[in-house]
Chain A
Amino acid sequence: MATTRNAAGPCAGSAKAPSPLNEAPGARGRARGLRGSEYPLHVVSLVLFFAIWQWAGSRIPEAGAALATPTQVMASLADLYRTQFAGLTLPGHIWASAVRVLAGFAIAVALGIPAGLGMAYSPVFRALFNPIFCLLKPMPPLAWISVAILWMGIGEAPKIFIIVLGSLIPVILNSYNGLLLIDEEMYDVVRMLGGNRWDRIRLVSAPAALPSIGAGLQIAISVAWGSVVAAEMVSSRSGLGFIIMQGMKISDPGMIISGMVVIALLAFLSSLLVEALLRRVCVWQHDIGNL
């Protein structure tokens, strides 16, 4: 008879990693037709997408002002790369955003994993922190920007603060759930083999919670990129969010879309990087994308 443990986490509900679509486990070739390749369709789809975009951007006069064509975006990107904008070229802005993301992400991980594990491990700790966590959870990180600037000035600190707040939540939630959802019989194995409390943590808790924590990190890094853009859009003199915001101010859709493209690429790449790292560490997990 299995125990149904109260898995209702901090405010219940676990964060699920928005997994890449090609990772649906066990689906390969099952639910109707992977007969024939989808690649030709992909090509058709992409060609159509860019063709329509180009056509709309260049032929519809009203759209032209608000919808740069793909070629204009390319030109804009090249321009940002070559000439300085607000004192920095594109790599400089990328670096500015990346440093913020990395700093915020690192702090969120350093705080979030112990907090989540602590909440799962100790009911007292959970009782103490859950109410505050529940209040902070639905608060969009950007809502903090005003007080953050008041408290910390207009330097790097408030931006990093916003990123920490945003990415902290998936880290906490997934660490919490990762530890809580471990089958208790796993611990019985170690107990039967003469293990003490430390052996249980070392041999079961740590490895068993790892995939879930990793999935949390993957969500967190995406959230971090979103947060940095938001923070930079509100107050900054550098970074990709700044480029997007300036594009809006000078009514240059090419610049806006350039910023969006770069952000999307970076978010995508860092998520891939985290996933690759996870695959490395959690060799036993064959469907990491879907935790």
Chain B
Amino acid sequence: MDRTVVHIECDGVGKSYLQKGRTVPVLEGLSFGVRERELLVVLGPGQSGKTTLLRLMAGLEAPDAGCVRMHGEPVTGPGTDRGLVFQSYMLFPWLTVLGNVEIGLDIQGRRTGATRAQARDKARAYLDMVGLSGFEDYFPHQLSGGMKQRVGIARAYALEPQVMLLDEPFGQLDAQTRLSMEQETERIWRANRKTMVFVTNNIDEAVYLADRIAILEGKLPGRLAAIRDVPLPRPRDPMDVAFLRLREEITAMQKLAL
């Protein structure tokens, strides 16, 4: 792969955990690169180490083996150049929608000296981006699952990271909401073209969103089974013949990986 365009990459990454006194390997020898402005989907069934992979890329944890690099520099910890969207939303229930989006800006403002009003304006702009204008003063418990995750996305975008990492962001949503959230994600991604790593266990979601799909093996330790290009034009139609054919192909690859 051409090094110059690789934005964030995993190089021989391995990770294991201690569980009940036994070492359980979760990831092993995982290598792939994400190109700049690319939307890469990591596809794998439950218990294949997807979340761990994303946490390593986020820098929340350090790999036991190998290395995560960003623009060739090893990742040593979490940073605002990467934005993470959590599977279980992780909104702060004691803050309003606006307050939740403002957290990062508030932390940043203490260093850069940006005023509270500036933070507020920016937070409002990103809430508008995810279609939540008018809900600024709601508390998370007053929102539906889809709306909660919109807040989660706005919160991650608000600090304007270079790479967005999304950990099964729509896993808890119903099919209808999920579809509209996927469309929304694609729209946002096309609008600002940030490098995006999107983790999912849903093949439709993967084919709908991805430039390329990294398929994980379906058992621990997670290894890379294959990387597949998705050369379909956007926006994609899940009922389109080419879409369905690709979907079938990837299903077969996944079965093989199991």
Contacts and interface: CB of A to CB of B under 8 A. Distances in A.
Direct contact of A and B (CB under 8 A): yes
Interface of A: 1, 183, 185-186, 188-195, 199, 203-204, 207-208, 210, 282-286
A189 B90 contact: yes
Contact of A194 (B80, B93, B94): B80
Interface string B103-116: 11001100000000
A286 B141 contact: yes
B52 to A, nearest CB: 8
A189 B86 contact: yes
Nearest to B61: A188
Nearest to B156: A192
B222 to A, nearest CB: 12
Given A193-B155, A194-B78, A203-B92, 16 more contacts: A183-B90, A185-B86, A185-B90, A188-B84, A188-B90, A189-B86, A189-B155, A190-B107, A192-B82, A193-B159, A204-B92, A207-B94, A208-B92, A282-B94, A283-B139, A286-B141
A37 B144 CA distance: 32
B94 A193 contact: no
Contacts of B83: 192
Contacts of A283: 94, 139
8 contacts: A1-B52, A189-B86, A189-B92, A192-B80, A193-B108, A194-B80, A203-B92, A207-B92
B51 interface: yes
Closest 5 A-B residue pairs measured CB to CB? A193-B104, A194-B80, A207-B94, A191-B78, A192-B84
Nearest to B78: A191
B94 A189 contact: no
B139 to A, nearest CB: 5
Contacts of A203: 92, 103, 107
A207 B95 CA distance: 9
B177 interface: no
Interface in B68-107: 77-80, 82-84, 86, 88, 90, 92-95, 103-104, 107
A194 B79 contact: yes
A248 B233 CA distance: 90
A1 B15 CA distance: 14
B60 A195 contact: no
A284 B107 contact: no
A286 B93 CA distance: 11
A44 B140 CA distance: 43
B139 A284 contact: yes
Bin chain B's interface residue count: 20 to 34
Nearest to B58: A192
A226 B51 CA distance: 50
Contact of B88 (A185, A190, A191, A192): A185
Nearest to B47: A1
A183 B86 CA distance: 13
- Of the listed residues A1, A189, A282, A283, the one surrounded by the most CB atoms of chain B closer than 10 A to its CB is A189
Contact of B60 (A1, A188, A282, A285): A188
B90 A284 contact: no
B94 A284 contact: yes
Nearest to A188: B60
A207 B155 CA distance: 19
A236 to B, nearest CB: 42
Contacts of B94: 207-208, 210, 282-284
A43 to B, nearest CB: 36
A192 B141 contact: no
A179 to B, nearest CB: 15
Contact of A191 (B60, B93, B139, B156): B60
Contacts of A199: 107
A185 B84 CA distance: 11
A193 B80 contact: yes
Contacts of A207: 92, 94-95
A25 to B, nearest CB: 12
Nearest to B106: A203
A282 B92 CA distance: 12
Interface in B124-149: 139-141
B103 A190 contact: yes
Most chain A C-beta atoms within 10 Å of own C-beta, residue among B55, B78, B82: B78
B51 A1 contact: yes
A239 B156 CA distance: 58
Contacts of A194: 78-80, 104, 107-108, 159
A182 to B, nearest CB: 11
Contacts of A183: 90
Contacts of B84: 188-189, 192
B193 to A, nearest CB: 21
B207 to A, nearest CB: 26
Interface in B173-231: none
A52 B86 CA distance: 61
Contacts of B80: 192-194
B229 to A, nearest CB: 30
